[in-house]
Structure 1
Amino acid sequence: MKFILSLFFACGLYFGLSAQLLVEQPYTIEEYVSEVLIGNGVTATNITYTGSEEQIGYLSGADGLFSVSSGLVLSTDHATHLSDPGCTDSQFCNDCAGAGVDADLLNVANSVPPLIGQGFSVSSVNDLCILEFDFEAGGDSISFNYVFGSDEYLTWVNTQYNDIFAFFLSGPGITGPYSSPSGFPDGAVNIAQVPNSDPQLAITISSVNNVTNTEYYIDNPSNSGICINGYTQTFTASALVQCGETYHIKLAIADGSDSALESFVVLEEGSFSSNAIDIIADASIEGAEVFLGDTTVVEGCNDAVFTVIRPDDTTQDTIYLNVYGTATMGGDFSSVFSIVIMEPGQSTANVALGVINDNVNEDPEWVTVEYEYVNSCGDTILTSATIVILDPDPVTLFTEPIGCIDDAGNINLSVNPLSGYGPYDYTWDTSENDTLNNFTFNTGFIPGSATVTVTDVCGSITDATISWEVLDDFIGNDETICLGQTSTVPTTGGTGGFSEILTEVEDSMGNTFWTSIVGASLDTTLISFLDNLDAITGLYDGLYNSGSGGVGSIEVQLIDGCGSVTYSTITVEICELEFYNVFTPNSDGDNDTFEILGLQGYPGSKLRVYDRWGTLVYSNSNFHGAWRGLNNKNSPLPGGTYYYTLAVNYTGEDPLEYSGDVTTDLSVEGIVTFSGNVMIMR
């Protein structure tokens, strides 16, 4: 294994958006209709509901995750299952069996098989969820957007478990085969149909799936974004109505033939409207499927286009838009933006905001455009759209540390944008086919570098260079130290630093194994490695102590940061005594103590220090070889020359070896007494 390091690091601010779909149940039944579903030009009254209130909810935060971003959920089970963490359906739905039966919904379910060439039959409808209300429309038509989904997909397609929903509309000018409330004597029609179907085909799991009407189906077996196995594209239900008259709609969904596996319909928030006037804001960039939510403009990068929609296109019309916000007309966007002229036959007009790059660092700004319209019933309808304007954000990059070369010579090259606006294009100089932000590259065990050029969707360009080295082989060297000394285990090559440091031991059964001696007690091992980890690499520095473990040799196994293994033998021995005569105890880390090297091999040595007048100022009956220039009261002694005696226990046959300017006294058997002087410099 070889270890390599990335040599480039770029930092900056990260800008990004993320979405998380959520289904909540914060409203009353009346509020779900009036606050969530109803849009422009419609008023709703006489709202009723059949089913458990746990089957109804409010979906939000679904931008880029689902066919609509927010709306009213009607479900055959607990509505919050759609956003259940882990998609475990952990919430139990009380009273989800609904009430009674619904012959119209059953008839709709059984109208599907013969129209798609199938012979199955739905025996019952269960877990009913039905929302009904009267309404008046301000124009001559109504429409709303919806999405159907089911966990019956795709296993139970074309079977009796054909979950079904329908939107039954009744009122003046409408005659239909389905039942309608009193006051609406001519029956009801189902306006939930597969688009352009003839004869009209109701929407179920069997009429829209991966085989039938595939253009409307989205498969989702992994429950990505929303906890359901499959769902449809956004459909629009619409019907002609008479301005100012009262109509009734019944929004109903049920399980087919059983009560297992939920289905739902989501009615898009605010979409139930009449002859909807609208303003639609679009700030997308070609090549960017969703650019910051499609309602954000970056100065010098993209522009916003507002699509103005009017319900009556029979005459020429000059439309005056109300424009307001923190962005200023003429300074941040075009000064001729607020007037739209539509010719006869023209129902929509696109108006560019004309965002100006003012080269001024600013907080995010916004501009809202309102369109006011008086419909044929005399009602005033107001709609609006908002765009956010951001300053340019140059691309900055972070390159991941590329780690170790593997046995085949491969490394991972990776770069991540910290700022700028995605999507990004990546061009590496390693190959014209290397266009991802990370990939595996073969070095051939040759040192080198790779440069990547990154371009964001706004055309901001920057580059980064990643370098790597092929390090020398990892080799451990042997070392001999004096008892009591501290040292660093000697190695060459490798990563520098150690991921593990081990020695071989034997258990009570005579089996040998390698175990760590980092932080080991010197009472149980010859040496102990300090637990010193490098803050950047996370590797041990290899510093170790000797002392009470005695003398001898030990083999250690060393593993570097890439897993390469080597061995070192460390020998601890008793060394000759070395005496020094000057030290500077100023706490600068350099020569702060009076040291007698090698003394750790002679426990019980006695040191006595005297000033120039012969007064004892310091004594230690078990001196280990380092004095900090303090008296016995632990106070600093003044600078000057001091005299000392050191009595060392020694019974060896050969003379005790030493070096330094000292004299010896052998008059006491078994004791060698050294005398000398030392200077304290402060």
Structure 2
Amino acid sequence: MIMKYTHTFLLLLFFVKISHAQLNISTSATVANLIQNVLVGQGVVISNVTYTGAPNSIGEFSTGAVAGNLGFNNGIVLSTGNVIQLPGASSLLVDNNMNTASDPQLAALITQSINDAAVLEFDFVPVSDTIKFSYVFGSEEYEQYVGTPYNDVFGFFVSGLGYSGGFYNNVNIAIIPNTTNPVSINNINNGQSTNMASPGPCVNCNYYVNNSSGTFVKFNAFTTVLTAWIRVLPCFTYHIKIAIGDAADHALDSGVFLEANSFSSNSITLTQTTSSTIDSLAVEGCNDAILTFNLPYPFSTQTSINYIIGGTAINGVDYVQIPNSLVVPAGQDSVSLVISPIIDTLVEPLEYIELIVNTSYCSQDTVLIYIKDALPPLTNLFRDTTICMFSNLDIVSNTSGGYIPYSYLWSTGDTTASITITPSVSSTYSLVVSDVCNNDSTFVIDVGVSNPIFTFTGDSVCKGDTAVLRVNSSEIYNYIWSSGEQTSIISVSPSSDTQYTVSVTDSIGCEIVDSTTIKVFPIPIVSSTSDTIICSGDEAYLKVFGNYSVEWNTGSTNSFIKVKPQSDEEYSFFIRSSDQCENSDSINVEVVTKPIADIYTPETTVCIGKKIVLQGSGGDEYLWSSGVESPNMEVLLNNNAVYSLAVTNRSGGTTCSHDTSISIVVERCNYFYFASAFTPNGDGKNDTYGVDGQYEIVYKFDLYIYNRWGQQLFHATDPSERWDGTYEGKDASDGVYTYVVYIDEGYREPYSLKGTVTLYR
């Protein structure tokens, strides 16, 4: 026997309020309010609402803008437990004992006892032949109690006249689509499991939603959105019972979510639009009204829709003749009636068409369709006018009436609502304005042109002379000069270039402004190359800029000269403009002594590994090829090398440089060898033992001599030190001894030599 154990999870109930995710549930509304204002949609009249069960087992839910994985956003929820505790992560337990009784219809569905029943009942009158609503069933019994007696049960039981005869007596419409099987845990699942894994085989798993990792609602799993429906007789009263209960015990809650406004019985609905967006009403000759009749679903046979035509607009006179009925072809769910108003030349008040439509067996709808006159657009252009030549004039259409968008066609070819004109002669401008209904109007404006006519003369003079400015015209005009005079002729003596402006105005105020500049020739401004600095032996290039005649103190009359002074020198010149004004200036040339680089060293052939100092001279600044910037540089020579030196003298921004180089040859000077025997007998011949050969540079030297037992008898740290054949003041015995020498010559890695020597006495 399978038993449920829930006591180990009781503490989890304390965490409900901190894991409500986006699902919000309220139990504050009355049951009647939940049915009338939340559950019920169109085409249904509700009465006699009753509820049996715990107060907190029914409530209103909402999810906000996002429906989560539940499938819809709001509605009512019915549960075997406390609905307030449903929001939260599926890892939290929802388990309540509501201590409510059984229900006979639920008990008839299973063999186990029914506990914690919540039962919602009401009467309804449908307006069409079908009643339907959307729901989702969920449970904490998933998946560990699939296939067990703990198969929580629910049902939607309908009673009333049968659609095909007889009587519906608590017919359960909570069934799996295209079957007669009720929706339950055992009928929709993914197999039995204790940890919400996927053991299979699944049963109707296309309707199953695994919520094991969900954070939205605590149920371990639930169904997809299902639709309960049944065929009914329109306009008759039916009764429905929506019930849910725990099976076999009170543990682990289940619930059913009912989508808001889904409990409905669709009738014919009417949708009114127009053929364009220019107006929300029909317009004569321009905007048709479109009335669409929508069936709840496509019927297998054609459907006739009848209506009564009335109103102030006359059928066939004010609009194209329409019939008093339409047919929806088989397999379609809608048909449209197009009402096309007829354009006439009458100015009429707003007219309307009234259609009374039977939308179901027990309901009708009245539609009013209004018709407006199509009036042409009107434009308010300003009166004919005269403007000054070359002045801009904005002509704005200021159009009203008709239907936007308007189209414009000016005589200029422009197609904008307004134009800017700059006429040079008097002209006539016309505008044709058309609206979207092709109604148009034409408007005309005359624009005259006026302008003063004259010539303007003036002089240019040297400084101190007088210039005469004159306006020549055969007409009488008014004059205002920028200097303040108001005559046609003025005399001026400017001290510098000056622009004079005159305003000439005719009798209607048209003004022409003209100006001229009196050029005053000043002393020419000198522009030449700046003072310069060159290296001794170099040339300097001197130039005077400008369109002047030039004379240098060297006698040259060219604007450009080339000089090669041996020392600092000043070159003067004067210039003359075309008006014979003169000026003078000079250019100073500074001569910087060019350096001669030299490198000195006492020897150019040295031993490898030796350090020498290279001595540079000949300038103020030094730069060796190694990057050293001092006159002298110490180098360590391991290979043949070439060293370069650049010397520099500077003045201002001028640099005078010279470079040279020196080659150093490197030779090996160290040669070491060791004799194979020596005779320390005091005869002055071969009495000592050590390194022989030629050597000049040795950075480190260690010579060790050992006897045959590895005992060290002698150690020298200088190549000149030698062993006299004794150890601790006593003569060493004849025999073979081992020597080891370590040498560091500096220019390469240290190395060692090893060998033997024979001592003879």
Structures share a fold, TM > 0.5? no
Q: Specify which structure has the higher proportion of strand.
A: 2
The higher relative CO (CA closer than 8 Å, separation ≥ 6) is in: 1
Rg larger for: 2
Please report the TM-score for the alignment, with normalisation by the length of structure 1: 0.37
Instruction: Give TM-score scaled by structure 2 length.
Output: 0.33
